[in-house]
Amino acid sequence: MMAQEVDQPYRLACLELHGGNQAGTYSAELSGLAGWVSCRPLGTSRRGGDLYYLSVCSQGVIARVVLADVAGHGEIVSSAAVRLRDALREHVDHWDQSMLIRRLNESILKGAPHSRFATAFLASFYRESGELLFTNAGHPPPLWYRAAAREWSFLLDSTPYRKEIVDLPLGMIAGTSYSQTAVQLEAGDLLLLYTDGIHEASDESSEQLGLDRLLSITRDLPVESAAAAGRGLVSAIQRFRGREPASDDETVVALERRVGAV
């Protein structure tokens, strides 16, 4: 379902959570970050299995973004959305993500086997330092544009640009090790988060795009803003598909570090 883009950026207030799984396209302002969201459920549905939330802490210095691809549809996804929202609200002021990941895993993955996340990417951004702390639980790797190098790459746990996390525990959750990785975002750096409907898009010959070709596409994207990069990626996927219809929900969350932004 195509959603008309909202003209004015949505500015998150302290302690606010914003998002869900409904169709929508809009810009957003978080602590130190400019954002852009495009959520496109499959077909004519207004709500899909892709689920995202944006939040800002009570002091306005921590911005958090989570993007998940939930297994299931309808009420299954809606109930998962409520539990995710509640967990994020409880931990909105916490920079360390390990307890939040543990809460998500125990209350959603294990406690509700019929309404579970298939994958999730969770990131916290600290405005004062420019540090981004992230955890990837089986989700497609975000795309990272480093403005100083004018270069796109995947944001991976193994990135050579990772920073040491001081005095923060790793989350050993239900037998699975979910690590927290920190990187430094500089002014103008971009992140493109997306669900598997993007890199698994197929063209008219039923050939999937794939991660390698997705990375190649980014080299032609505009990089002057999160909105420009996000719109460029969505348009590139549409061109790749041609007349082939989408086969899955497609969600993109674009972020840009804005030095001096509040």
The DSSP result for 137-169, as a single string, is EBPPPPEEEETTTTEEEE--TT-TTEE--TT--
Distances (CA, A) of 39 to 30, 186, 257: 18, 27, 21
Query: Assign residue 135 a region: left if phi > 0, alpha if psi is -120 to 50, beta otherwise?
Result: beta
Distances (CA, A) of 222 to 175, 187, 198, 229, 232: 42, 16, 18, 5, 7
Pairing assessment for the beta strands 62-70 and 10-11 based on DSSP bridges: unpaired
Percent of the chain with pLDDT over 70: 84
Residues 93-112 have a mean pLDDT of: 69
3-state SS, residue 205? coil
Q: What is the pLDDT of residue 64?
A: 93
- From the list 65, 129, 55, 127, the residue with the least C-alpha distance to 92 is 55
The per-residue pLDDT for range 48-100, each reduced to its tens digit, is: 889 899 999 988 899 999 998 887 666 667 777 777 888 888 888 877 777 78
> What is the pLDDT confidence band of residue 226, given thresholds at 50, 70 and 90?
very high
The per-residue pLDDT for range 228-246, each reduced to its tens digit, is: 999 999 999 999 999 999 9
Q: Which two tokens stand for residue 118?
A: 């298939």
Q: What is the pLDDT of residue 168?
A: 36
Q: What is the pLDDT of residue 35?
A: 97
Q: pTM for the complete prediction? A: 0.89
Distances (CA, A) of 215 to 3, 181, 230, 236: 26, 21, 14, 12
> What is the pLDDT confidence band of residue 253, given thresholds at 50, 70 and 90?
very high
